[in-house]
Structure 1
Amino acid sequence: MTRPPRLAPSISLLRTKWTSKLALGIALAMPGTLLLNNSTTMAQAPVTEAATAANRELRNAVENYWHYGKVARYDLAATEGQKILASPATPLELLQTFEAVAAERKDNLDEWLLRWHGIEPMKDVTKQIIDKLAEGYRARRADPKFILEQISRLSSGERGYGNAMTRLRESGELAVPFLIDVLRDPAKKNQLPVIRRALRDLGRAGLNPLVAATQMQEWDTLTVIIGVLGDLGYQSAAPFVARVYESDQSPATVKAAAADALARLGVSPGAGRGASDLFYDLAERLYYDTSDIKGDDRFPTANVWYWTQAGLTRKQVPPQIFNEIMAMRACEYTLELGGSRSDDALSLWLASNYKREAELPEGATDPTRGEAQPDAHYYGVSAGGTYLNNALARAVRDRNAAVAFKVTRSLQQIVGQSNLLAGAGSGPLIQAMQFPDRKVRFEAAMTLAAALPQQNFEGSQRVVPLLAEAMAQTGQTYVVIVHPSQEQANRLVDELKKLQGINAVGATTAEGAVAIANTLPAVDVIVVAEDLGPGNVDQLFLMASDNARLAGAARLVMTKTTASIYEPRKVSDQLLSTTTATDASALQPAIQQARAKAGGLPIDPAVATEYATRAGQLLTKIGVSRSSVYDLMPAKQTLLAALSDPRHEIVKLAGQVLAYLDDADAQAGLLLAATADNLPDDVRISLYNSLAQSARLWNNKLDAGAIETLAKVVATAENLQVRSAAAEARGALNLPADQAKTLIVQQSQK
């Protein structure tokens, strides 16, 4: 579940939306750790003379801050505010002091703080005070003593009930374990009606722990909980209630309560879809963040609840992965119950686990997983290709680059000639080769290449071009500019090239754009001016869709206004974005945003070199195997260009692959690269070895001038190892022995 970091809302927004102390506490809640079952949170330390003096100083500072603020001595108020912030008091003590001072003056705490936050001399210090008070609100909401105090007030009449519920709603789902504990206490059976009412009035905030509590076998309490879930009416509760209804251990009274609740949830008990299917449906909704079961976004962590003999317990997890964890649990329930969706549940569980890993924030941990528990890859390869292919198909359909990348890497470890085309076969991998993100495209092509299939399959022609594209990676973002004005196209290309990390080419027509795109190692974004005309723009996009190199590229339309015809189209087209930018500096962020929207993951130079190396190794493997499925010839131009790559290991790999091309240009390119200036000797030797291998496979394809150049190296190269490698190449060409005779005569000692 992708969620941006939680930030405190602007004070102007607070001024227009909230005016109560409760609202201020909720709205300004800042990230922190919630504690449950910690009865010491509000425990008071022994009162010492020093503590009494500190409390008195804090009270005086708050009173002075309040007084000076109200009489418009803002500078003095700011000074007192600094004293408040320097106080050793806890946020909760600070909140209690401010509440007491405001109450004595019959002032509204929130209104005055918001007012002072808008006054420049007091702005900064008041903002810090508000943040401290927010911490106090949060500590009070999570405190067991506070929650129990509110529960005790529920039976004190309607007014007391209303005030207590206001506070319990502050605590949200954290109040549910304590409310259930009251239901479980035989001595408090008289409170059952009011507790049930409170659980219902908590609304969706209580749903997460309530469904976890359905695993209890305390039948009287469970009957109440099931009734509350029926009252609430959330469809996401249905599988939990259905599981109780279907259980052989449930007494008749509990089954009757479950049947009634299911009816109110729109499920016919005992007919049609059972708990297993309902849990799978819930897992689908959780995976796509559409379930009623959600984490409380007022808090920095989300809670995953478990039922134990002691009652409800929780594990606090990063909110970004809450839905993935819950989807995995729902899938596990489906697998436990069996049924027709078990295979689907296994595939969804794998996808959820990969997604959980992908969305776990850097540096964060998932406490629901043990330290020695294997990663998603382990479970993926254990499940096998059929289930991994299903997970990959989902990721491709969702355009989830991170999940598709991880699943494809796992497939690489288990796919081979025997199982490549089995079951779902190579279908998802073929689709992944057209994915918007080039890392996913590369991984899919590498998986298919490594398998070395013995029979042709649909899409096999894409593998080698993608490997060649991967071999040419340098870590830059590659852009094609399309503008009807050659001058404007050239201007944008020149400006973009001056920016770090971008390489661009330009064209004035759709046909020209497709042609010039072939000069780039890859294409990440096609930037087209709306001035090209709707028909020509559509033609460009159609041609791009039919082109293996361009099909996954993001499409960014430069529009004149936000009323362009492309604005509504981009809502449903993930590849399409728009911008009103007209110069390179403004276009650069739009290019990166378009790439991200299309599902593109960045490639830095180190990763680019890794891909180039792996691609070269796989192309060599294809050449060695003399594959009848993969043709290396489409990689020829990229390989020849790679001979001048500044990365010497890539030059060596390019030479090794070229040796397996039955082509005169390949032999000529190898010799030309080997004799280039300023080349390390080990690279020269490798290139001559590749030339020798090419000659052994395809005989001599060099012209007379090239042969003469080679002969000169054989005769005069300073490094003997270089001279020997060149001699091997000449010998493999099976040329006339004249030069060899001359060499022998020249070395003879008279």
Structure 2
Amino acid sequence: MGNLRNMLPAALVLFITIAPSMAELESDWNDFLHYTAIGKFELAKGYADTILGSDPDPVALLALTEENPRAYSLLLNIYNNNDQLKDTAGELIDLIEKGRYMRRIDPEIIRQEIARLSTTIRGRMKAEGRLKNAGEYAVPFLLDELGKNVDQDPFAFIAGAMAKMDNDACRPLQTALQMSDPAVKAEVVRALGKIGYEQSLPYLKYVYETEELGDIRELAGRSIESISASAMKVPAAELFYGLAERYFYHNESLRPSSDYDIANIWFWNEDQGRIVREEVSKEYFMELMAMRCCEWALKADPETGKAISLWLNSFFRVEKTGLELPKYFGDNHPDASTYARTCGPEYLHQALSRSLKDNDAYTALGLIEALVTNAGEASLLYRIGTEQPLVTALSFDDIKVRYSSAIAIGNAKPGKNFEGSSLIIENLSQALLGEPVEGLDADAANEYAYRAMAVLTGLAVSENELIDISKAQQPLERILSREDDVLRVQAANVLAYLEAGSAQQAIAAAALDENLALEVRVELFSALSDSAKMNGCSLDDKTIDTIYQMSGSNEIEPALRSAAAAAFGSLNLPSSKVKDLLLDQAVS
């Protein structure tokens, strides 16, 4: 048998090898359908499991369903209505759809169909239908063959087939407009006009505005008018921006095919002289296309600043999916926050306004954090019409957005009053407590507490008149009893600036707490000293006496005694109080 096998043509050997498995697949498939139809679901499942376990050729399985369309309908009915076979039927359907995809994108099949365009009228009609079904996957091969057949008979047939494609072919054709071959480019322009899809308008208008060859420019104008004559009056940059917004808001007509789990982004490869595709997740395909349209808007007119803000919104939404960035971004691609920090406040506020209206907390937070790092008061309170986006964010539903907005404005130490300014201290006061709530875990809450404290410290030191830090007195006093020594000392330092006597009393009570570490108590006495210097003495006699006794005690650590003495001195007490300290240590 081995010798006989060696004598057979390769194709026949392949047939002998494959034919039994094909026959077995067909037999198992028919048995599965038979037992499903008569309600013997256990037996049906056994044959289905055999099919799935044999690693069948998806294209072969697809062919079996096409030979018997009623069988496929039965399979769909089982999937939708039979719980016992639902999962198994689902796996079979997935395989069949995989076969449909594999056949649709098979380069060899596509090339064969392109070759058939130059045969009989009937052959050409069938080929055109199959190429149309292949959609965007057929476009690179159609363009390749056009380039090879310029001034030859097949050129017209290929161009004719390309013009009969549907909307699915528009994206690769639009990308192909970057080519330099005038003959092929003209046919692409003509095809987009005949397909007549509005998403092609920006690309055609860009050709109309930039093309040096008059014939192609004129052809682009005719294609635009055949789709929408009014577009001739709109600059390409505006058309690209409009298309970007439609992608951003997931316009139904722009969605990729629902038949597959992936979508394609098309690029012009100058080295290869052809279009190439990269598969990306459908979860962020629309946002990626919005970004690309914004980039084209800026190419068409660098002054289209609103495209910058929409690009930022789109990139943040890409990151929001949590998926790995597409390969074409390259290694070490900066994140959205990096780009946001390099943009001017005008674009950040435009993007923030959109994210707030869209109730997009993730993007809003990213934009606000960028504003924290690179904007002053005038920039932070930027107006878009009558709206101040960052001020609006102070009352946003998401707690992180509210906190970050308050921190951003507070850091800038605003000097002018504005509607909603009272919300700054309200949010800072809440953030100070570091309490985890819905949407804010313990670590994030603690981080916000530190940031809010830093802002309040800056406001206190600068004696900011707009933000009344006295409204944060209660949370500051609560922090004095917390276990976080760093925050405890910082809270005391801010309380020292408050005129209210209760603030000074709270600092003193904490400084006298013997359960606290020595170094912490020293810092608290220092804060008490500052409070007394700025606001005078507000302590009762009992507290004053306790501090006085510490100041003269030899049983207390020298550093603590010295700190208590400094605080006592800062109280600026009457001489009758101070003389006791001196006389108590006198030696007669």
Partner of 1:246: 209
Letter in 1 for 2:413: L
Letter in 1 for 2:315: N
| 1:580-595 alignment, distance < 5 Å | none
Partner of 1:301: 262
Deviation of 1:624 (Å): 1.5
| 1:176-575 alignment, distance < 5 Å | 176-186=139-149, 189-192=152-155, 194-196=157-159, 198-250=161-213, 252-267=214-229, 272-290=233-251, 292-309=253-270, 310-338=273-301, 341-357=303-319, 359=320, 361-416=321-376, 427-456=388-417, 459-477=420-438
- Partners of 1:666 and 1:48 in 2: CA distance: 92
SS at match of 1:320: coil
1:733 equivalent among 571, 579, 584: 571
Letter in 2 for 1:609: N
Deviation of 1:393 (Å): 2.9
Deviation of 1:462 (Å): 3.1
Task: Please say if 1:690 is aligned against 2:527.
Answer: yes
Deviation of 1:742 (Å): 7.2
- Partners of 1:60 and 1:325 in 2: CA distance: 46
- Partners of 1:301 and 1:78 in 2: CA distance: 30
Deviation of 1:126 (Å): 3.0
SS at match of 2:192: helix
- Partners of 1:281 and 1:302 in 2: CA distance: 21
Q: 1:351 to 1:114 in 2, by over 3 A?
A: closer
Q: Do the aligned residues in 1 keep the contact of 2:33 with 2:71 (CA within 8 Å)?
A: no
SS at match of 2:314: helix
- Partners of 1:81 and 1:469 in 2: CA distance: 60
Partner of 1:84: 51
Task: Tell me the alpha carbon deviations over residues 719-744 of structure 1, each in whole angstroms, 9 at most, x when there is no partner.
Answer: 76555544443333234335644774
Deviation of 1:613 (Å): 0.9
Q: 1:350 to 1:68 in 2, by over 3 A?
A: closer
Letter in 2 for 1:81: A
Q: 1:420 to 1:63 in 2, by over 3 A?
A: closer
Q: 1:618 to 1:265 in 2, by over 3 A?
A: same
Q: 1:87 to 1:439 in 2, by over 3 A?
A: same
Q: 1:385 to 1:114 in 2, by over 3 A?
A: closer
Task: Tell me the alpha carbon deviations over residues 152-209 of structure 1, each in whole angstroms, 9 at most, x when there is no partner.
Answer: 4556667766665665455432222223333333169544555455445442212221
SS at match of 2:497: coil
- Partners of 1:213 and 1:456 in 2: CA distance: 55
Matched residues, number: 570
1:114 equivalent among 46, 70, 76: 76
Partner of 2:498: 661
SS at match of 1:644: coil
Q: Do the aligned residues in 1 keep the contact of 2:477 with 2:491 (CA within 8 Å)?
A: yes
Q: Which structure dedicates a bigger proportion of its chain to helix?
A: 2
Q: Do the aligned residues in 1 keep the contact of 2:189 with 2:220 (CA within 8 Å)?
A: yes
Partner of 1:604: 441
SS at match of 2:329: coil
- Partners of 1:447 and 1:222 in 2: CA distance: 51
Deviation of 1:688 (Å): 3.4
**Larger relative CO (CA 8 A, sep 6+): 1 or 2?**
1
Deviation of 1:456 (Å): 4.8
Task: Tell me the alpha carbon deviations over residues 324-355 of structure 1, each in whole angstroms, 9 at most, x when there is no partner.
Answer: 3323332333333337x523333333443344
Letter in 2 for 1:416: G
- Partners of 1:93 and 1:627 in 2: CA distance: 76
Deviation of 1:614 (Å): 0.4
After superposition, the CA RMSD in angstroms is 3.7
Partner of 1:25: none
- Partners of 1:121 and 1:262 in 2: CA distance: 54
Letter in 2 for 1:632: I
Task: Please say if 1:699 is aligned against 2:536.
Answer: yes
- Partners of 1:716 and 1:323 in 2: CA distance: 75
Q: Do the aligned residues in 2 keep the contact of 1:234 with 1:292 (CA within 8 Å)?
A: no
Q: Do the aligned residues in 2 keep the contact of 1:412 with 1:447 (CA within 8 Å)?
A: yes
| 1:3-14 alignment, distance < 5 Å | none
| 1:642-657 alignment, distance < 5 Å | 642-645=479-482, 647-657=484-494
- Partners of 1:304 and 1:457 in 2: CA distance: 46
Partner of 1:137: 100
Q: Do the aligned residues in 2 keep the contact of 1:613 with 1:653 (CA within 8 Å)?
A: no
Q: 1:719 to 1:125 in 2, by over 3 A?
A: farther
SS at match of 2:95: helix
SS at match of 1:395: helix
- Partners of 1:128 and 1:188 in 2: CA distance: 49
The alignment's TM-score, normalised by the length of structure 2, stands at: 0.84
Gaps of 5+ in 2: 1-10
Task: Please say if 1:75 is aligned against 2:42.
Answer: yes
Deviation of 1:682 (Å): 5.2
Percentage of matched positions with identical amino acids: 31
Letter in 2 for 1:611: Y
Letter in 2 for 1:131: D
- Partners of 2:582 and 2:162 in 1: CA distance: 101
Task: Tell me the alpha carbon deviations over residues 544-584 of structure 1, each in whole angstroms, 9 at most, x when there is no partner.
Answer: xxxxxxxxxxxxxxxxxxxxxxxxxxxxxxxxxxxxxxxxx
Q: Do the aligned residues in 2 keep the contact of 1:717 with 1:723 (CA within 8 Å)?
A: no
- Partners of 1:46 and 1:475 in 2: CA distance: 70
Letter in 1 for 2:578: A
